[in-house]
Structure 1
């Protein structure tokens, strides 16, 4: 009888400033196998749930990526950045002190449901075979067509101008940075995303996730046959 081929799914709380590939590489090196991948990128400045698949479970990556996502985080109104997050310098746009909670909720209502969204220039989407962030870093404009996405829930959990705290439930392919940009445009004061945490993918919750480095040590402590 031949042993079943190895396969495993890891739920990981991605550390701040780590890329999603940094996490994959760390797990891959610990497992000492090549077939390791993640099911949905988190930007370096985002934290939260990252699903990492190993061995035969890499075949499930697409199904995980297609599931509904939930995020919490903060937007800052009155300023913006080229990337709509803190990876680029902050540029003041307009004084936001006149913006009320009612103004924010009205703008959010227009960004809820089935919407068309233009991805940010500083993203990993490919246009004509090239990652658009590579063109953005060279100062080149790339035409980005709007894409249909679903924002099923967009809740403002706290508002103390200029800080907007939120919880968002959305479909695959939704860019929270683009929602920050669009919110700022609707309020006519600009906005950017100052923090982001992914709290759920489908039925998988951040509360079930492992811290990366203790998990890596646990994997390394296994006997060799446990990962084969």
Structure 2
């Protein structure tokens, strides 16, 4: 076997590298990578590539992705999600019509400021390293494409959204910006990636199940 493409359902609390390391060791492959990082707090579809298939990483990165996220209004954090340190807490002036209109305004090609805690490089150094060193950092907005964004559920102070987007999009930034436009701040409380191109999370493997499949094993 020269390589395999394995869709995995990443559990919360694992980094994408944790998943790769576990599968590399357990399935005895030398060369293993993934096609699109998920934050530790996120769950859902992670495409893991083995052997010769690692060379196709860029092809997967270019595919459209779908997410379901829960935004908590009234709180801002250092990471734009609830894993970060709280920066501010403000009352939420709840208006369902306004919330829906603001969410819809993100549809299309937009300029998005990435979170400071991200893997984007600034002068050759990862931005999360700069931010965690205590230095001031504000990344420049960059164009991203939101193919579709809808409100799935409203329950103050939580807004559940479904987003279909192109590469380079940060759902944490969308959560932050929804809160800013509402004047109360916002952070991402939950995130699940549900699809990448034609790959669906319903068809993804749990890590522990994949480790038991002899056909997935490579050679060191």
Take 2:101 and 2:19, find their aligned partners in 1: how far apart are those partners?
Answer: 38
Normalised TM-score (structure 1): 0.92
Take 1:7 and 1:92, find their aligned partners in 2: how far apart are those partners?
Answer: 48
The CA deviation at 1:107 is 1.1
CA displacement 1:164-198 (0-9 Å, x = unmatched): 01111000000000001110111010000000000
Take 2:42 and 2:84, find their aligned partners in 1: how far apart are those partners?
Answer: 14
Take 1:87 and 1:138, find their aligned partners in 2: how far apart are those partners?
Answer: 17
The CA deviation at 1:222 is 5.2
Q: In structure 1, what is the equivalent of residue 95 of structure 2?
A: 100
1:146 aligns with 2:146: no
CA displacement 1:49-82 (0-9 Å, x = unmatched): 0000001111111101110000002000011111
Instruction: Give the one of 124, 147, 159 matched to 2:119.
Output: 124
Instruction: Give the one of 2, 5, 14 matched to 1:6.
Output: 2
Contact 2:104–2:150 (8 Å) recurs in 1: no
* Equivalences for residues 1-228 of structure 1 within 5 A: 6-96=2-92, 98-218=93-213, 221=214, 227=218
Normalised TM-score (structure 2): 0.95
The CA deviation at 1:152 is 1.1
Aligned-CA RMSD value: 1.5
Determine which structure has more spread, i.e. the larger CA radius of gyration: 1
Take 1:197 and 1:26, find their aligned partners in 2: how far apart are those partners?
Answer: 21
Take 1:68 and 1:76, find their aligned partners in 2: how far apart are those partners?
Answer: 25
**Structure 2 residues not aligned, in runs of 5+:** none
Take 1:66 and 1:141, find their aligned partners in 2: how far apart are those partners?
Answer: 31
**Structure 1 residues not aligned, in runs of 5+:** none
Take 2:127 and 2:70, find their aligned partners in 1: how far apart are those partners?
Answer: 25
Take 1:16 and 1:63, find their aligned partners in 2: how far apart are those partners?
Answer: 26
